[in-house]
Amino acid sequence: MQEAITDFGIKEVLEQLEISDVNFGTSTGNEWFANGEEISSNTPVNGNLIAKVNASSKEDFERVMKTASEAFKTWRMKPAPQRGEIVRQFGNELRRLKEPLGKLVSYEMGKSFQEGLGEVQEMIDICDFAVGLSRQLHGFTMHSERPGHRMYEQYHPLGIVGIISAFNFPVAVWSWNTALAWVCGDVCVWKPSEKVPLCSIACQKIAARVFAENGLPEGISNLLTGDYKVGEWMTNDHRVDLVSATGSTRMGKIVAQDVAKRLGKVLLELGGNNAIIVTPDADIKMTTIGAVFGAVGTAGQRCTSTRRLIVHEDIYDKVKDALVSAYGQLKIGNPLDENNHVGPLIDKDAVKMYLEALDKVKAEGGNFVVEGGVLEGEEYKSGCYVKPAIAEVENHYEIVQHETFAPILYLIKYSGNVENAIELQNGVKQGLSSAIMTNNLREAETFLSHAGSDCGIANVNIGTSGAEIGGAFGGEKETGGGRESGSDAWKIYMRRQTNTINYTTELPLAQGIKFDL
């Protein structure tokens, strides 16, 4: 084990999570293997090597798919409440290992320790939700037009669910999918981001142990690691019934096209360009808290991060001054130090995109009220720490129309009524999360109406970031239209079937058609 990883007890964390110097990155349960290239996991906290992972080869992929296909035949026959019991046990293991797993998330990805713990708590919460759901996978009945007939709809397990997850939520998004898919009777094949392979290995080990202790076959939970090629194998394989992909809009379009060619199913959670509207009736203190956390939390690397603040001209200067003051109090540094508010970006490529975005803001005429830049010094030796920036811009700027995964907040002024602000908010291609800060009931209800926010998530007097698992999560337009987590999102993981039963001795046809023999 590398000496460098003893920082903040990371060595002990890795031992608790059964992670070694070199790890196999392919698993069909408790069977671990890999014949692909070696991946190094380096923490953005200080640039140190955490461990290495052998990635999946095409032969490894084929082995996983065969095992998963066989496991599905067994798993789908287990009653849903019994599947829920397995998920309950998995949730309890996450409770037991919440602190070490949360610390690994923080160290490998770079988000604050509190956010790492919160991400594991999301996993626990979705397990609890899924356990209850396992007794409520309902269909419904309807009346037939034919005498002596009964009609109803039911849902069956779908098959193999392929999960492609992003680096910014290295464990939670996988659990949103897999907890629901498992209770629905599906088996899962997970391709995590190659930037955070150790988090996925830790989760797979926990899940595999639970399945093995219950005498279940290998292949219900599966892991593949590697770059985009592994994702391509998955999206092009007809055995993968549903591909759930989280990432950029560019990636989502590729996945959607590949899966559509074989008429498969997709669930897409893609880019966001989220705005908070601040009206003259807003509470400035609440606005400041919501906007700052939304803009700098996870160093601006959430799909729900606040990118745009659309502020009425009457209170624009007050809001700007409050934000500048708040940004002056931000502490940037090691995310495992709970005195710090902002950690690093994921890697130097992300830093490069951040700097390019700052240049584009200036080129288009934007004015920085809080300057950005890369931090230097021993504490920031990874080269991944940047200053959260605030720029005054116009909504139509090209850079504003695109999502930059970094802590850059755009201030946009509006005049007139709330409809003008809504038009600005909706004037981007993405449609994930949105919010309005107001104590005016009419403004709030207008924002939530048919003519209001066009996003999948619309909040009043809270920020754009931080969703609860009870509600369906997802967005419209170039965000992809998918829904994960709560509400009735479970239906995407099942196949729908309409049934008609004739309990008479006659065979009447629908629509009164006569066909006598």
User: Amino acid identity of 69?
Assistant: S
Structure tokens at 451: 């003519």
DSSP characters over 449-461:
STTS--SSEEEES
- From the list 150, 173, 192, 181, the residue with the least C-alpha distance to 72 is 181
Strand partners of residue 368? 391
Q: State the Cα–Cα distance between residues 164 and 184, nearest whole angstrom.
A: 19
Q: State the Cα–Cα distance between residues 229 and 104, nearest whole angstrom.
A: 26
Active site residue 269: yes
Q: Residue 437: helix, strand or coil by DSSP?
A: strand
Is the distance from CB of 357 to CB of 389 less than 8 angstroms?
no
Angle at CA of residue 279, ends 276 and 283, nearest 5°: 85
Is the distance from CB of 55 to CB of 225 less than 8 angstroms?
yes
Q: Is 141 left (phi over 0), alpha (psi -120 to 50) or beta?
A: beta
Catalytic residue among 269, 403, 443, 478: 269
Residue with tokens 């965000």: 479
- From the list 166, 190, 170, the residue with the least C-alpha distance to 178 is 190
Catalytic residue among 303, 403, 455, 478: 303
Q: State the Cα–Cα distance between residues 322 and 361, nearest whole angstrom.
A: 22
H/E/C letters for each residue in 97-108?
CHHHHHHHHHHH
Q: State the Cα–Cα distance between residues 414 and 412, nearest whole angstrom.
A: 7
| Enclosing H/E stretch for 191 | strand 187-191
Q: State the Cα–Cα distance between residues 270 and 324, nearest whole angstrom.
A: 30
- From the list 116, 118, 112, the residue with the least C-alpha distance to 333 is 112
Using a 10 angstrom Cβ sphere, with 0-12 exposed, 13-18 middle and 19 or more buried, the burial of residue 449 is: exposed
Which DSSP symbol is given to 227? Answer: S
Active site residue 338: no
What lies within 8 Å, CB to CB, of 24 at 6+ separation is 32, 33, 34, 53, 54
Catalytic residues: 269, 303
